[in-house]
């Protein structure tokens, strides 16, 4: 069984130019039935949800100006995190941004599955099973990255994002195609180079 978090768990300050800024991983065997994911999820994704009660790792590579921040939302917290982002639209003023009603309706259907330091999130869209980008300040700056398709499914997200150690990029438009994350995009070049160097250095140790 593939564990998409395994390579992240192996990262340490001994790896070339990598600093582990924060790590909080709690494993706890669970047996969720996954009714929430009505479009289905793979056995590998089920393994993640049934294994990790908490998974937060923040790494940096200052030499290559890279970082990865993974704050995984466990299955039992999906509704709670959804309610948190819905608080933003409670009693919101009218006509703050263009297409405001669409943005509000989208948020009502989004469930954060990975959270970022600034309040942004990757969200599961319960209408179609896609993973989309939630921009925490959308009602201040308007639609920018908000609603961008990050992955056509949660399985696609985990399979592909894990290949670049869950690197965080500033402009996700540069890292996706019509299906979502595309690790062949130039933006991921440094991350792939870093992973190769880490593996080589471990072999030489």
Tokens standing for residue 1: 């069984």
Confidence of residue 91 (pLDDT cuts 50, 70, 90): confident
DSSP secondary structure of 64-87 = TTEEEEEEE--GGGHHHHHHHHHG
**How far apart, in whole angstroms, are the C-alpha atoms of residue 117 and residue 6?**
22
pLDDT at 52 over 90: yes
pLDDT digits (tens, 9 = 90+) for 181-198: 999 999 999 999 999 888
pLDDT at 64: 86
pTM of the model: 0.94
Please answer whether residues 154 and 129 qualify as being in contact, where contact means their C-beta atoms are separated by less than 8 angstroms: yes
Residue 13 confidence (pLDDT): 81
Higher pLDDT, 143 or 152: 152
The confidence band for 98, taking pLDDT boundaries of 50, 70 and 90, is confident
Residue 39 has a pLDDT of: 95
Q: What is the structure's pLDDT at 17?
A: 85
Q: CA angle at residue 150 from 142 to 137, to 5 degrees? A: 25
Q: pLDDT for 57-68, tens place per residue? A: 999 998 889 999
Alpha helix (H) residue ranges in the chain: 6-10, 43-51, 78-86, 100-107, 138-141, 154-161, 189-204
The pLDDT of residue 89: 86
Residue 123: which of 170, 94, 84, 173 has the closest Cα? 84
Could you tell me what percent of the chain has a pLDDT over 90?
Answer: 78
- Residue 124 CA to residue 68 CA, distance in Å, equals 20
Whole-number average pLDDT of the chain? 93
Q: What is the distance between the alpha carbons of residues 145 and 165, in angstroms, rounded to a whole number?
A: 22
**pLDDT reported for residue 126:** 97
The residue ranking higher by pLDDT, 204 or 117, is 117
What's the pLDDT score for residue 205? 58
What mean pLDDT comes out for the span 174-187? 97
6-24 pLDDT, tens digit per residue, is: 999 998 888 878 999 999 9
Rg of the chain, C-alpha, whole Å? 17
Summarize the confidence of residues 40-53 as an average pLDDT.
97
pLDDT band at 49 (very low <50, low <70, confident <90, very high): very high
pLDDT of 204: 65
């Amino acid at each position: 069984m593939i564990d998409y978090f395994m390579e992240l768990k192996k990262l340490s300050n001994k790896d070339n130019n990598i600093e582990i800024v924060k790590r909080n991983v709690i494993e706890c065997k669970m047996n969720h039935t996954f009714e929430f994911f009505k479009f289905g999820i793979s056995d590998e994704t089920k393994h993640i949800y049934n294994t990790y009660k908490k998974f937060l790792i923040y790494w940096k590579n200052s030499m290559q100006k890279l970082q990865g921040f993974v704050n995984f939302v466990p299955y039992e917290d999906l509704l709670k995190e959804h309610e948190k982002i819905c608080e933003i639209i409670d009693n919101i003023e009218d006509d703050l941004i263009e297409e405001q009603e669409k943005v509000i309706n989208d948020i009502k259907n989004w469930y954060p599955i990975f959270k970022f330091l600034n309040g942004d999130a990757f969200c599961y869209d319960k209408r179609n099973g896609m993973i989309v980008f939630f921009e925490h300040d959308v009602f201040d700056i308007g639609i920018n990255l908000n609603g961008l398709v990050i992955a056509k499914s949660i399985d696609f997200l985990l399979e592909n994002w894990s290949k670049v150690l869950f690197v965080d990029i500033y402009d996700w438009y540069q890292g996706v195609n019509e299906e979502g994350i595309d690790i062949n995009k130039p933006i991921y070049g440094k991350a792939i180079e870093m992973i190769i160097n880490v593996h080589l250095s471990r072999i030489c140790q």
